[in-house]
Chain A
Amino acid sequence: MFSNLIKIVIAATIVDNMVFIRYLALCSYVGITNSIDASIGMTFAVIFVQTLATAITWIIFHFFLRGLEYLQIIVFIFTIASLVQLVEIYLKKNVPSLYKAMGIYLPLITTNCMILAVTLINVDKNYNFIESLVYAIGSALGYGIALLILAGVRERLRVSNVPKFFRGYPLVFASMALIAIAFLGFKGLIK
């Protein structure tokens, strides 16, 4: 049981890394890795919302959507959107310092495709409640690791001398390709 959970964490964080191997959450990823501070803020916001969203969608799917599985997409996206809104209102009122630290990242999370994808994958893989939560936290951590790596690389890229047409996004994607090659190396880690 316990080793199974550790397996899920390692798979979600490294072997199936959300950004480099599964290609999820790329829009926000490219936008935010401009600075390391922003990346850290986004990581915490994602871990928080991802865990909550997974718990709630798991309960909804297994208790309320019996026989109504085709409504899954609509119900899940509404759950996530309203959850983000609720968290925002709650934090603004009760924990203003945290709200300020998360700032713009909270609303951005609604359109982060990773949140919806993880809830759908959980249903697809038929994980139980604990496994779903562990998978959610693991994948959010994997996203955080990916953010920090690229944010660090981009700080260095800013001063590098490259051909004019390759500056900006092409260079960022080329570096992502190189990091992704490194992540491919973990492939045999979990059977």
Chain B
Amino acid sequence: MSDATEAGEPAEPTGSDEGGAGGRRVRVVLVDDHRMFRTGVQAEIGRTDITGVEVVGEAADVDQAVTVITAARPEVVLLDVHLPGGGGVEVLRRCSPLMADAGNPVRFLALSVSDAAEDVIGVIRGGARGYVTKTITGTDLVDSIFRVQEGDAVFSPRLAGFVLDAFASTDAPPVDEDLDRLTQREREVLRLIARGYAYKEIAKQLYISVKTVESHVSAVLRKLQLSNRHELTRWATARRLV
């Protein structure tokens, strides 16, 4: 497992660094069946004194992940979508009590190379707070980890595209108007994410605050997770055929 090299070192991150800004620390568990990838991510983000991210555990399959997460109680889990033993969705299912814990919730950020819509939508529906692709840069990943830790949602451009696509088809009447439709503003925000804008840029573009952007994105995530529309799953499957 992790050899926590940190051990109360007083060296605080330089204030300019995005991730470690304000001296925050976040404890992370890495779940991925590729040891090489775990090592790479660990090297990129696990320099605790610089990034503020402390990797407190690693796991390579579903059973191991559940054990490690339960024992380490991290704030954020970086979760691979494809895992032996049932995949990321299974980890989410078995860790749902930890996610629901109001005092010290464990939050999940899906991290995958997969390009398939149903993989992505699957983990999001399973309760993950966001999804990023493995090509993401170290800085962006650290940024995403902090955002998830604060309870925010993290959408990659691709995920935003998937969501826009899924909510675009209006052939079936929505079961719940509030959940099954995106508001105009949410749609705008998603479009800008899909176009590669960062939250700050979106805020500037739409003349709103970053906080408002965050709340729009969180609202979309909630709709995605709670939405009754069964065609979401169907859409994800059909998407492969397009």
Do A and B come together as binding partners? no
